Amino acid sequence: MILRPLALIAALGLPVAAQAANRECAQSPGKVIELCVFVDQGQAFYQVSRRGVPVLAPSTLGLGFAGEPRARYTALGNARRAAVDTQWEQPWGEQRLIRDNHNELAVTLTGDTPLNSSVGVTFRLFDDGIGFRYDYGAIPAGQAVSVTADHSQFRTVGAYQAWWYEALGQERDEYLYTQTDARRITLAETPLTMKGENGLYLSFHEAALVDFPSMLLAGDGAGTLSARPMPWPDGVLARKTGPFTTPWRTVLIGESAGALADSRIELNLNEPSRIADISWFKPTKYVGVWWEMHLKKTTWGSGPTHGANTANVERYMDFAAKYGFGGVLVEGWNKGWDGEWTEHGDQFSFTEPYPDFDIRAITAYGKAKGVELIGHHETGGAVVNYAAQLEDAMKLYQDVGVSVVKTGYVKHSGDILDENGGKQWFAGQYMVRHHLQAVEVAAAHRIAIDAHEPVKDTGLRRTWPNMISREGARGQEFNAWGTPTNPPEHTVILPFTRMLAGPMDYTPGIFDITHGKTEVTERVQSTLATQLALYVVLYSPVQMAADLPENYEARPDAFQFIRDVPTDWETSRTLAGEIGDYIVVARQPRGGKDWFLGALTDEEARTIGQPLTFLTPGKRYEAQIYRDGPDADYRTNPTALVTERRIVTSKDVLTFNLAPGGGTAIRFKLLN
């Protein structure tokens, strides 16, 4: 039996008559999703259904403040409605044109405490999910308040499986996902993705995270998730001055895992760009002095094996120029890396190079070849030290022609010291403020930021398009020294979890899969074809060819795909997939006619028949295919690769025979 909204309220013991008199509802543009908000017995609730089927049971709303008891809400009123159907263009991205089609319902809650006396709640309903946020516009201007509780709930209806990891771990977001019954969630990071027995897929996250702590979700063992923002050291969640609004809490709702991946709600809930001209940033592929350090061939610190020396960097620039890469990342160039640098990040200088690194000569050398130096600022989590040098550091990079900088915050979460010696979480309000400060200063100097050990993305790249990519998950470096390294399922979980937040700098493209290791759990757990497919599956506007130059030149057959694949797209489509099992993604280059496809599987071999209906009807394409060899296996024969070419049209179906841990990468080249 399908419970209609009022029947569901009655089933949960809530007075139907009271709700009918003090209740507002709205539907998404296509009448796919319905949301109702109401007040009962001193609490404010919202509930969500999809095509008449309950998705979220009545779930509480509101914030709590220091110095006040929990507010009792007595009324709901002042309902305002709006409808939006517009289109806007990303300056770069996974999709050039974004449609924003939503209906809005805004209400005012009346409470019995001073700070909750008048609370605005705005809901935006899309056909693929919802967002809501609070507006404390009645708090007088300049009045300081301390948020001590977030009463936002998400009460799922039915049985779900969840992919998650325990939040507030010392290594931030760099953990492998586990799949469990959703009722086993204790405290999880977002995006938190679930698959229901009812056939629905859900993902909980937030949008437009500005001057507020990152939201975690606490489970109660029975299907209810409650917001738990990362606190300050004294337990306060957020320090604000009136009036203020919160970030959007978001719920994606779809009938497939791919529907979640192709949602654009996170972007649509952010404000338009504050940068008048971002044309100076160009999406690109890059190489760098990086993987060799993780393999311990060279060092970040100074000395005879220092990797960031002028001659070595110029060698990489020669390679980049020869093969069409736009940048060379160099880590370890600046003073402060010697010794246990994670323990003394306050010794980093961001304007003083080591003597063997001539930054002006290097950037001039690269400029002559059409290759930029990609800067690097590792802070060791010493945020106070970095903030003090931020202006001078960005000015130096602007002066020498650096337009992209990779930042890093390698420090145990919960141990990041603020100006008062307080220990901060990596994504509490303090760090959210810091990361936005870094982006704003960088923008003033026409510099884009690729943040590692970051605050998670929440679509803020729309407002600040120099916030180009982030890490925020276990990346490729764990395949050099992780214990264990990333298993094959990791890269078919990420597209439906972490990647729902935004671009990730995973740094794909390792060709020397074993790098001297014999145990499979001590090296890259994938086939060579998988490393190619990652360039399509895991989106970022800056994609690294992470391996050593000599390993690429040893495999020109495979390397050709990395040379060809773009990093900026007209449109993107998730064609098929199941969380943790497999994925197929197709993308069309911005302004281009070709298509690129990436397919991945987990540790299981898999055969997929993929219709090519995304191709333009009536056109012929040359499918340039890079696939697993017939005996490929990530455990025993990871580098077996077959390249072939076929003529195809939109009427064809390609069969992908994916090896264990394997993949397929294809360029569909339009034929005249």
Instruction: Find all residues with CB under 8 Å of 595, minimum gap 6, and list them.
Output: 586, 587, 588, 614, 615, 621, 667, 668
- In the prediction, which pLDDT does 160 show? 98
Q: Is 545:287 a contact under the CB 8 Å cutoff? A: yes
- The CA distance from 176 to 486, in Å, is 8
Q: Give the tens place of pLDDT for each residue, 50-96.
A: 999 999 999 999 999 999 999 999 999 999 999 999 999 999 999 99
Of the chain, the percentage scoring pLDDT greater than 90 comes to 97
Instruction: Find all residues with CB under 8 Å of 218, minimum gap 6, and list them.
Output: 185, 186, 187, 188, 225, 226, 227, 228
Backbone angles phi, psi at 441, to 5 degrees: -65, -40
* Strands, E assignment, 265-345: 284-289, 327-330
- The CA distance from 93 to 65, in Å, is 39
Average pLDDT (164-183) is: 97
- The number of beta carbons lying within 10 Å of the beta carbon of residue 148 is 17
- In the prediction, which pLDDT does 5 show? 38
- The CA distance from 127 to 26, in Å, is 12
Q: Is 668:622 a contact under the CB 8 Å cutoff? A: yes
Average pLDDT (16-20) is: 37
Helix (H) or strand (E) holding 125: strand 119-126
- In the prediction, which pLDDT does 6 show? 36
Q: Is 501 helix (H, G, I), strand (E, B) or coil?
A: coil
Average pLDDT (120-139) is: 98
* Mean pLDDT across the chain: 96
Average pLDDT (349-355) is: 98
What is the band of 19 on the pLDDT scale with cuts at 50, 70, 90? very low
- The CA distance from 262 to 95, in Å, is 10
Q: Give the tens place of pLDDT for each residue, 380-428.
A: 999 999 999 999 999 999 999 999 999 999 999 999 999 999 999 999 9
- The CA distance from 395 to 191, in Å, is 35
- The CA distance from 469 to 381, in Å, is 19
- The number of beta carbons lying within 10 Å of the beta carbon of residue 11 is 11
Q: Which of 219, 210, 213, 206 is nearest to 233 (CA)?
A: 213
Distances (CA, A) of 53 to 67, 156, 569, 667: 40, 12, 36, 41
Half-sphere exposure of 670 (CA within 13 A, CB side): 13
Q: Give the tens place of pLDDT for each residue, 145-159.
A: 999 999 999 999 999
- The CA distance from 264 to 101, in Å, is 10
Amino acid at 55: V
Strand partners, 625: 644, 666
The active-site residue out of 206, 477, 522, 570 is: 477
Q: Give the tens place of pLDDT for each residue, 581-611.
A: 999 999 999 999 999 999 999 999 999 999 9
| 477 classed as catalytic | yes
Instruction: Find all residues with CB under 8 Å of 557, minimum gap 6, and list them.
Output: 626, 641, 643
